[in-house]
Amino acid sequence: MTAGGTGTGTGTGSDRAAPAAAPAVAPRSGPAAPGRWTPARTATALLLPGLVALLLTYAMPLVWVARMAFNEPLPGGAIRQTLTLGTFTDVLGDAHYWRVIWRTVELGTLVTVFTLLLSYPLALFLARTTSRWRGLLVALAVTPLLISSVARTFGWMAILGSQGVVNKTLMSVGLIDTPLQLANNMTGVVIASTEIYMPFAILVMISGFGRLDPELERAAASLGAGRLAVLRRVVLPLTLPGVLTAGLLVFVLSLSGYVTPRLIGGGRVFVLATEIYDEAITALNWPVAAVLSMLLLVLFGLVVVVYTRLQRLVERRVLGEGGTAS
């Protein structure tokens, strides 16, 4: 699986505390006797509880659900154990599921674009601020990440609903007569999801903005570059890798998001995640739910492939330009 581990230590008895130059003072580094605690045996013992837990709670379920995709659903929630591609072809031949897949990609794209646009200025601000409140400001931007998404989605229902904050305010000011339809549709889901994923994007962006150096900007400015030129030629290229990584994370998260589409969508926004849940719990059609899950994983794979290509492209260009800049 990896090339890294095999090169360094096939001899498990080698003790890295004792270099080869001092054999006389390293009596413990002899060949491993049976029953002795070699690093490999210690590692196995230490890793075992975690590996067993992961096997039970992660690896086995995934194998089971993948197997379920090749079973045949029978009417009334019954399942015929078999090995067929029939459920796959049924799902892929159904226009309804294609609409759901398209909706999912559309939602993911919109949410990713808006999240990146709104998170970028905040991340830039946090990366370069010298305020003594910096720690608090970072915490304010990142804390929502650890706050229940059900609670935050409920907050958005109170803001976007027909009796919500936005509509009440606009009506009392007299800008509109009838409430805007901001919830129970795609618009509301996009707005709420954008806010829900912003802390993830900001966190990833701040971590990725390490190469940003105020000295570089000052140097560019002193060489006669205007503000826009500094932003376009120095800041943007240096921060682009971080933005791309944030984009990947947000896209992947919003492709599989369930709580916000279900609550804000009010049963009118159908994406893969809500469809998987409905097929599994309401329709009791596990094979179809499993097939939809596999399609979601395929979608994930495609996104990661595109991201890797883009990241390589960006790295090459930034390194090329950064070489002349620094």
Instruction: Considering only residues 233 through 292, tell me which ones interact with other proteins, judged by CB under 8 A.
Output: 235, 249, 252, 255-256, 258-259, 262-263, 272-273, 276-277, 280-281, 286, 289-290
Q: Which is nearer to other proteins, 38 or 320 (CB)?
A: 38
State the nearest-atom distance from the C-beta of 170 to other proteins, in Å. Answer: 12
Residues 12-51: x/- map of binding to other proteins (CB under 8 A)? x---xx---------------------xx-xxxxxx-xxx
DSSP code for 77: G
State the nearest-atom distance from the C-beta of 129 to other proteins, in Å. Answer: 9
Q: Are 181 and 268 in contact (CB under 8 A)?
A: no
Q: Which is nearer to other proteins, 87 or 320 (CB)?
A: 87
State the nearest-atom distance from the C-beta of 324 to other proteins, in Å. Answer: 20
For other proteins, which residue of 104, 153, 184, 285 counts as binding (CB under 8 A)? 153
* Bridge partners, residue 103, by sequence: none
For other proteins, which residue of 195, 205, 250, 303 counts as binding (CB under 8 A)? 195
Residues 197-236: x/- map of binding to other proteins (CB under 8 A)? -xx---xx-xx---------x---x-----x--xx---x-
d(CA 239, CA 319): 12
Burial of 84 (0-12, 13-18, 19+ CB in 10 A): middle
Question: Directed axis angle between helix 186-208 and helix 149-160, to 10°?
Answer: 130
Q: Which is nearer to other proteins, 258 or 270 (CB)?
A: 258
Q: Which is nearer to other proteins, 113 or 231 (CB)?
A: 231
State the nearest-atom distance from the C-beta of 322 to other proteins, in Å. Answer: 18
| Size of the residue set binding other proteins (CB under 8 A) | 101
Report if residue 178 touches other proteins, rule: CB under 8 A.
Answer: no
State the nearest-atom distance from the C-beta of 226 to other proteins, in Å. Answer: 10
State the nearest-atom distance from the C-beta of 189 to other proteins, in Å. Answer: 14
Q: Which is nearer to other proteins, 144 or 318 (CB)?
A: 144
For other proteins, which residue of 32, 105, 113, 157 counts as binding (CB under 8 A)? 157
Q: Which is nearer to other proteins, 51 or 85 (CB)?
A: 51
Q: Which is nearer to other proteins, 129 or 320 (CB)?
A: 129
d(CA 66, CA 86): 14
Q: Are 87 and 69 in contact (CB under 8 A)?
A: yes
Residue keyed to tokens 């919109």: 110
Q: Are 35 and 13 in contact (CB under 8 A)?
A: no
- Write the CB contacts of 304 (distance below 8 Å, at least 6 apart in sequence): 248, 252
DSSP code for 163: T
DSSP element (H, E) containing 2: none
Report if residue 107 touches other proteins, rule: CB under 8 A.
Answer: no
Q: Which is nearer to other proteins, 28 or 320 (CB)?
A: 28
Report the b/e string of 8-47 with b at 16+ CB within 10 A: eeeeeeeeeeeeeeeeeeeeebeebeeeeebeeeeeeeee
Q: Are 185 and 269 in contact (CB under 8 A)?
A: yes
Q: Which is nearer to other proteins, 279 or 320 (CB)?
A: 279
Report if residue 151 touches other proteins, rule: CB under 8 A.
Answer: yes
Tell me which residues in 77-106 interact with other proteins (CB under 8 A): none
Compute φ and ψ for 73, nearest 5 degrees.
-75, 135
- Write the CB contacts of 252 (distance below 8 Å, at least 6 apart in sequence): 300, 303, 304
- Write the CB contacts of 25 (distance below 8 Å, at least 6 apart in sequence): 18
For other proteins, which residue of 33, 57, 130, 324 counts as binding (CB under 8 A)? 57
